A and B are shown apart, each in its own frame.
Chain A
Amino acid sequence: MNTSEPKLDNEQIKTMINAILDKYRREEGMLVSVLHEIQGEYHYLPRPALEEVSRGLKIPLTRVYSVATFFKVFSLKPRGRHLIQVCLGTACHVRGGARVRDTIERDLAIKSGETTPDFTFSLESVNCVGACALGPIVLVDGQYNGQMTIEKVDSVLKKYA
């Protein structure tokens, strides 16, 4: 199994979540922002964290879980330290985005939507990130890499590995 899956300490999570909740004044309406912040911290939404949010905001766990599973940005599965997003929007697609994705999939030996066993990278595809003229685009941790080619994949990933 994955040995480097991030180990979580429940006490640490509790403290962290409560700090985040305080920052948002424990307002129920801030749920999405709270979840964003948690994901920023852990790269995904750990179950104990969601349970703590439900307790802290005094809202049912069902609501937290519904929201957390509704938005595509949120992941309930552990994700890698770096998130690679390959744009497959119309413009990037016609410029060969899919080939770039295939190359990344092969290099990292994972499929889109998966995470490398050492939790370095997670890979996913997105639909248009608003920079069509520079396509195909590959985002790593939100950083744009324009005019991607299969040859450039290696050098881009090297910066993070």
Chain B
Amino acid sequence: MVKLTIDGREFQAEEGKTILDVAQGNNIYIPTLCYHESVAPYGACRLCMVEITNKRGKKKLVTSCLYPVEEGLDVKTDTPRVVSVRRMVMEFLLARCPDSEVLRKLGDKLGVEKVRFSQEEDKNKCILCGLCARACDEVVGASAISLVNRGVDRQMATPFFDASATCIACGSCAFVCPTGAIKCEDIGDTRKLTMPNITQEFRLAKCKACGAYWAPERQVDFFVKKSGLTREEYELCPDCR
């Protein structure tokens, strides 16, 4: 256990926890976009910046989602420096994705009045935080998408920008995406997954009893493979089971 203070309040925390873990566990607000509790932190969005003073009295800005707690750490989540740097980050994100409703709301909340940078034309809402790809890899285990290329060409995409052979159409990527860049909708017997670089359609499996389309065929295949059960075990939707 280590002792640290956040905004003047004292906390005890287990070693290995991050500043963000402690703050969230104690209702201290730190804005985040690329963080999700089920996925390893990555530090891509830079929105969760806080100011720390370490034992030697040195002040610096760190990403709270990655910074592990230390004995005697003094964390401030609300200093003028933190506020201004967050606004700056927010402005960059908004310049990149002016169409994202979520980002605009967050911008308002953080006090961004106007974006001083020229705004991106193509209406893509992806901030390249890679949360979708990390969830797909770490949680689902499908690894269907990733960040590709480098620098200004960086994009979220499937390999070769082609239909993915490993995607099971579970929609986890759309679920975790913090900006609404990925859409997942079911239309009749088809699931449509719309990503910045590709739109894919998948067949849905029909429940034998009630006839409802309940999961993508590929996801059912995936269940079968994972669980070692037979395909017959998955003929019914969860409601009819």
* A binding-site residues for B, Cβ under 8 Å: 47, 50, 60-66, 69-72
Contacts and interface: CB of A to CB of B under 8 A. Distances in A.
Interface string B118-148: 0000000000000001000100000111111
Contacts of B143: 60-63
Q: Which of A47, A65, A71, A72 has the most CB of B within 10 A?
A: A65
Q: Which 8 A-B pairs have the closest CB atoms?
A: A60-B143, A62-B146, A65-B159, A69-B148, A66-B146, A61-B159, A69-B149, A62-B143
A62 B159 contact: yes
A69 B133 contact: no
Contacts of A62: 133, 137, 143-146, 158-159
Contacts of B166: 60-61
B150 A69 contact: yes
A66 B158 CA distance: 10
Given A60-B143, A62-B143, A66-B147, 13 more contacts: A47-B160, A60-B166, A61-B159, A62-B133, A62-B144, A62-B146, A62-B158, A63-B146, A64-B159, A65-B146, A65-B159, A69-B149, A70-B149
Contacts, number: 36
Interface residues of B, number: 15
Contacts of A65: 146, 148, 159-160
Contacts of A69: 148-150
B147 to A, nearest CB: 6
Contacts of B147: 66
Contacts of B160: 47, 65
A66 B148 CA distance: 5
Contacts of A50: 159
23 contacts: A47-B160, A50-B159, A60-B137, A61-B143, A61-B165, A61-B166, A62-B133, A62-B143, A62-B158, A62-B159, A63-B143, A63-B146, A64-B159, A65-B146, A65-B148, A65-B160, A66-B146, A66-B148, A69-B150, A70-B148, A70-B149, A70-B150, A72-B150
